[in-house]
């Protein structure tokens, strides 16, 4: 679209954004928040570990203790399968087979033990009261991401929920994060990005968002700092304080 219609459309968009900022008040540091899912909003580790171990056991491979999966997860199912398999068994066919088995097993038990972390519901409610607009971006498959968010997180809290989709690069590529910002009508710099891994910090930085590391998640403080976290939070309540 070009000419007068384009100008009118752009003017209307800017007017809506200015009105939004006026309603929120000048004290707000961020207009929007983008969240990782696993290890940030939801503690999914046990269900993921149980699913992967069941897949490995079915194929005759050794299983792993649940804490080991803290370093296996975060970059999609393929890398989860590769990391869980013995080094000598990471050929494409075996990885594909274990990936399929993990997906099947996870479909049976994804909500058995998974729950929001303490304080997440209150954080989301408080951010909503402050008129911070929210979205989720995960490397979990898109259908699983939407299913988890719909079942386990407050209804209507998120404008956009996206997981891994065919044809869209996974995090830490910033493509999907920038897409979310565009769809919500904000510049990336207006977003606080909360995640718990190096992948999340790299995604935030690549997208031009403000990277915040969640210390209750799957990785440690050193990883988050080295990956460029601008702030670290020990509880969801601290996220609300950062937004104000």
| Amino acid 1: pLDDT | 42
User: What pTM did the predictor assign?
Assistant: 0.86
| Amino acid 27: pLDDT | 62
* Dihedral sign from CA coordinates of 156, 159, 164, 166: positive
> How far is the C-alpha of 87 from the C-alpha of 81, rounded, in Å?
11
Q: Which residues of the chain have pLDDT under 70?
A: 1-27
For strand 115-116 and strand 42-43, is the pairing parallel, antiparallel, or unpaired?
antiparallel
Supply the DSSP string of 41-91, one letter for each residue: TEE-HHHHHHHHHHHHHHTT-----GGGGGTT-SS-HHHHHHHHS-GGG--
| Amino acid 28: pLDDT | 76
DSSP tally for the chain: helices H, then strands E: 10, 8
| Amino acid 42: pLDDT | 98
| Amino acid 26: pLDDT | 44
| Amino acid 74: pLDDT | 85
| Amino acid 132: pLDDT | 97
| Amino acid 24: pLDDT | 46
Domains for the chain: give ranges and CATH numbers.
24-43+114-243 (3.40.50.1000), 45-109 (1.10.150)
């Amino acid at each position: 679209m070009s000419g007068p219609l384009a100008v009118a459309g752009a003017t209307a968009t800017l007017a809506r954004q200015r009105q939004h900022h006026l309603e929120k008040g000048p004290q707000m540091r961020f207009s929007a928040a983008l969240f990782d899912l696993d290890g940030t909003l939801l503690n999914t580790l046990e269900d993921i570990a149980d699913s992967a171990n069941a897949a490995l056991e079915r194929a005759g491979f050794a299983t792993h203790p649940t804490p080991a999966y803290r370093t296996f997860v975060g970059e999609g199912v393929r890398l989860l399968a590769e990391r869980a398999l013995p080094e000598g068994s990471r050929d494409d066919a075996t990885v594909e087979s274990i990936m399929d088995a993990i997906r099947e097993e996870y479909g049976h038990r994804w909500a058995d033990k998974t729950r929001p972390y303490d304080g997440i519901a209150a954080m989301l409610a408080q951010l909503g009261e402050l008129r911070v607009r929210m979205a989720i971006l995960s490397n979990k498959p898109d259908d699983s991401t939407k299913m988890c968010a719909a079942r386990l997180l407050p209804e209507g809290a998120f404008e956009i929920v996206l997981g891994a989709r065919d044809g869209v690069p996974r995090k830490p590529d910033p493509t999907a994060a920038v897409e979310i910002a565009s769809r919500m009508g904000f510049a990336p710099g207006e977003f606080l990005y909360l995640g718990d891994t190096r992948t999340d910090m790299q995604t935030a930085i690549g997208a031009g968002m403000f990277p915040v590391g969640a210390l209750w998640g799957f990785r440690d403080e050193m990883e988050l700092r080295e990956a460029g976290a601008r702030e670290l939070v020990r509880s969801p309540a601290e996220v609300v304080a950062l937004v104000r």
